[in-house]
Amino acid sequence: MQKSENQPDPRPFLSIWFGNFFEPFYSDREAVRAGIAEVADLGFNSINLDSKAWEDFFARYRGAPASPYVAMQEFMMEEMAKHGLDYTHLALYLCGDNLYPNIRDVASVRGEEPMRPNGQPMGTYKYWSPRAQQTMVDHVRGLLKLYGRGMRRSSDGRIIMQTMFEPIPKPSFDAEGKQKYLAWLEKRYEGDIAKLNRRYGLAAKSFAELQPAEYWLRPEELNWVGCARPTAADFANRTADFHRWVDNQSHLADVLDEYLATMKRRWRELEPRLFIEPLLHQWGYFFNPPGQVDWQTGQRALDIYRCAAHVDSVLYIAAPLNAENRADAMALSVESSIMRNANLHRPFTAGLYLGRHVNGDIYRAISPAEAIATLIANGAKGFHIYGYSGLDDGGVMYRMDDLFKDSLRVGNRWASEVIPLLDQPRAKEVALLFPAEMSLYEPLEVDTEGRHRMDLLGWYTQFVDLGWQVDILHPTQIAAGALAGYKHLIAPHNSLYDLGDNTALETAVKKFVAEGGTFFHGPHCELARRAFNIEEEIVDFDCIQWTEEIIPHGWSTVAYPGGQAVGAYIKSGKPGIAQFKCGTGRVISFGFQYGYAYSRRTMPIVPPNYGRREMHPVVLLKTTPIAALAGASPRALISPIKGVEFGHFGNQVVIVNHRPSPVDIRGIAARNEIAQAPTASGWLAAHSATYLEINRDIDKKVK
């Protein structure tokens, strides 16, 4: 299909990153020609070019001959046009470039860099510097001038530009940088140096006299991507280093906000039709690859919900990989829900890692078609895939086998057909509170075996298994009234809740419950304590009498002496699952980490003191407590099936089977079906999806 230049593209945006800084794509035109033909055959309609702000691009803008690298990108553009493909540009990278001099032979243009305490450049952008920002604008201006005719246009005619890839702001220890931070710190402490001294263990007389090692956590360890991090003991004991860390990261989050806000204005001034779509994280947002410390959100000062005000689309790359380093489609569904809600349910592009992941061959357990369907079931109107050819970090999709590529081809073709049909917003039923403070401040190594993040995953998965539509909402969204229309609210574990200013959140949650909502939470929930005065009592581990006897699974057990016992600890009789009434609503309090128990890889055995007694963990109960207390979604078209995900869009539904066996959906009356994979009538194939148009008005039934 040929596409006219400079025209809006009505097709769903199916884009893949194609790098040309490694061989064979650096110099072999036949390899590039074959690669682009394969990208088109796989069903993509756009390619993302790695066009960072290197000196050879600036030389090209001045009229110099194209370097081999730039010349290859110009050749790639010509080849794309032959296949009806357009392109976008990865225009700017977090530090300018991390490939020189070993992979790329020309340096990046940064304008101004932050300085280390020893006076050496840090090797990245000084994000707040007008000089650094000007080089960014000059680079994007050059790309638009030379290559704008073939760039991807959104359906409303705007030019899609990846204006930054993985922004990670850093401090600077030159005179200007120190003054900037110390002024911010003085404002944060309202001029109270005594308060800072108590937290930091100092005896400073003024903010102005503070030295880098006093106000920044081990600043000598800073580089373009990494930094020093507090230990688990620092977090547990709230040491001076913990407080430095929280202040440092809070400042950098503000720097990122200021940068994105400033650049939004500058991009609009440069080209009003620019669609600002930076890629905010390459390695997942809530679930980062375990063991890859430099790729984690917890040291990047990144809150994508906060970034949303300054971009046209919130985009990051996710993967079906959970916090225990296991392939898990529900982890991808969580990330997709975060993207949808950061974008306020507006049309959005979802990011997906496809290929041999550096942490494992996750696509042996989950099919590419299934992963793509998971994005669409969560409302994505297009997707950006990483990546076709990046040998430095595993983005080597071109070397994957035929079975992988066949599944990808099926997924893309199905997406192209289904996405345009989904013209209604996704239904809203259950809200899950995003643990914003934990995500912002807590490094992976502090979260033992990823259990804090697994608790959110388990809560999410339990409700999805019951057919509910789950939205992950930020505290600021809830404080602004976003709970209207939801039936249930879940608060997963948040180890750092007390660091936030959550008064408005607590007021909104209390109002939600008083007006008939249900609020679910587990142990150590500061929100429950503050909003509802719910007190807990730490108790020795014991099993809980429910309709069956439950073996709790978590890292602590508590009782709720003031609540009505829904389930009681067998020995003490104290409420292990409790209910509290509030207005016309209720609070359900679990004495163990319910989400963690539902999602983690291992499960407990019958405690020895109970001998041969029949007891089971949550995952093996005939009916889970949540199934009994919340029930199935009123939108459920058939009895819920564990591991089968439904995305409702008015009378349209996308069903994704995450199980390794076909499932029976003959009970659903539909007038139109578009299945990813051929199978027997009324069945949904393993690890695949289908689109259905339902015969009855589901929304009317729910109301």
Residue 670 within any structural domain of the chain: yes
Nearest one of 403, 336, 399, 334 to 369, comparing CA atoms:
403
pLDDT of 581 higher than 80: yes
Strand-pairing partners, residue 17, are 48
CA 490 to chain centre: 18
Give the 3-state secondary structure of residue 184. helix
pTM of the model: 0.97
Residue 398 within any structural domain of the chain: no
Both tokens of 533, joined, read 């005065």
pLDDT of 161 higher than 90: yes
Please report where in the chains the tokens 């989050």 appear, as a residue: 253
Residue 571 within any structural domain of the chain: yes
Confidence of residue 1 (pLDDT cuts 50, 70, 90): very low
Which strand (E) or helix (H) includes residue 670? strand 670-675
Encode pLDDT of 283-307 as tens digits.
999 999 999 999 999 999 999 999 9
Are 574 and 535 spatial neighbours (Cβ–Cβ below 8 Å)? no
Q: Is the dihedral of CA 77, 83, 89, 94 positive or negative?
A: negative
pLDDT exceeding 90 applies to what percent of the chain?
A: 95
Region label for 210, one of left (φ > 0), alpha (ψ between -120 and 50) or beta (otherwise): beta
- φ, ψ for residue 557 (rounded to 5)? -130, 135
Are 304 and 633 spatial neighbours (Cβ–Cβ below 8 Å)? no
Are 439 and 495 spatial neighbours (Cβ–Cβ below 8 Å)? no
Same domain, 616 and 493: yes
Are 82 and 150 spatial neighbours (Cβ–Cβ below 8 Å)? no
Integer CA distances (angstroms), 287 to 226, 321, 323, 433, 657, in order: 18, 7, 6, 16, 22
Q: How far apart are CA 560 and CA 307, in angstroms?
A: 38
Same domain, 529 and 595: yes
Dihedral of the alpha carbons of 556, 557, 563, 568, in degrees to the nearest 10: 160
pLDDT at 69: 98
Both tokens of 171, joined, read 């401090």
CA 617 to chain centre: 29
Integer CA distances (angstroms), 246 to 211, 238, 239, 307, in order: 17, 10, 11, 19
Same domain, 559 and 664: no
DSSP state letter for 426: B
Q: How far apart are CA 42 and CA 416, in angstroms?
A: 12
- Rounded to whole angstroms, the maximal C-alpha distance in the chain is 82
Residue 157 within any structural domain of the chain: no
Which of 597, 630, 663 is the C-terminal boundary of a domain?
630
Give the 3-state secondary structure of residue 164. coil
DSSP state letter for 425: P
Both tokens of 61, joined, read 């803008």
Q: How far apart are CA 622 and CA 215, in angstroms?
A: 55
Nearest one of 437, 446, 448 to 596, comparing CA atoms:
448
Same domain, 488 and 625: yes
Which of 630, 655, 676 is the C-terminal boundary of a domain?
630
Give the 3-state secondary structure of residue 431. strand
What number is the average pLDDT over the span 448-473?
Answer: 98
Which strand (E) or helix (H) includes residue 595? helix 594-599
CB count in 10 Å sphere of residue 399: 11
Q: How far apart are CA 179 and CA 157, in angstroms?
A: 43
pLDDT at 44: 98
Are 547 and 553 spatial neighbours (Cβ–Cβ below 8 Å)? no
Encode pLDDT of 303-315 as tens digits.
999 999 999 999 9
Integer CA distances (angstroms), 454 to 332, 334, 595, 599, in order: 13, 11, 7, 6
The domain in which residue 658 lies consists of 644-702
Which CATH number is 503's domain given? 3.40.50
Same domain, 468 and 614: yes
Encode pLDDT of 394-449 as tens digits.
678 999 999 999 999 999 999 999 999 999 999 999 999 999 999 999 999 999 99
Residue 42 within any structural domain of the chain: no
Same domain, 605 and 651: no
Are 632 and 640 spatial neighbours (Cβ–Cβ below 8 Å)? yes
Same domain, 650 and 624: no
**Mean pLDDT of the chain, nearest integer:** 96
Same domain, 568 and 682: no
- 236 residue type, one letter: A
Residue 291 within any structural domain of the chain: no
Which CATH number is 668's domain given? 2.60.40
Same domain, 607 and 655: no
Same domain, 473 and 621: yes
Q: How many domains does the chain have?
A: 3
Encode pLDDT of 167-192 as tens digits.
999 999 999 999 999 999 999 999 99
Both tokens of 98, joined, read 């991390």
CB count in 10 Å sphere of residue 639: 9
Confidence of residue 579 (pLDDT cuts 50, 70, 90): very high
Encode pLDDT of 375-385 as tens digits.
999 999 999 99
Are 537 and 551 spatial neighbours (Cβ–Cβ below 8 Å)? no
- φ, ψ for residue 469 (rounded to 5)? -95, 120
CA 391 to chain centre: 24
Which strand (E) or helix (H) includes residue 644? strand 644-649
pLDDT at 88: 98
Same domain, 545 and 579: yes
- 70 residue type, one letter: V
Buried b (16+ CB within 10 A) or exposed e, 500-518: bebeebbebbbbbbeeebb
Residue 353 within any structural domain of the chain: no
Confidence of residue 2 (pLDDT cuts 50, 70, 90): very low
pLDDT of 392 higher than 80: no
Confidence of residue 586 (pLDDT cuts 50, 70, 90): very high
What number is the average pLDDT over the span 337-342?
Answer: 98
Nearest one of 136, 158, 146, 151 to 92, comparing CA atoms:
136
Q: Where are the beta strands (DSSP E) in 262-361?
A: 274-276, 317-318, 349-353
Residue 434 within any structural domain of the chain: yes
Nearest one of 562, 492, 542 to 522, comparing CA atoms:
492
pLDDT at 394: 64
Give the 3-state secondary structure of residue 663. strand
> Rounded to the nearest 5 degrees, what angle is found at the Cα of 440, between the Cα atoms of 438 and 443?
70
Which of 248, 273, 305 is the C-terminal boundary of a domain?
248
Both tokens of 389, joined, read 């050819």
Same domain, 584 and 667: no
Please report where in the chains the tokens 């607590």 appear, as a residue: 506
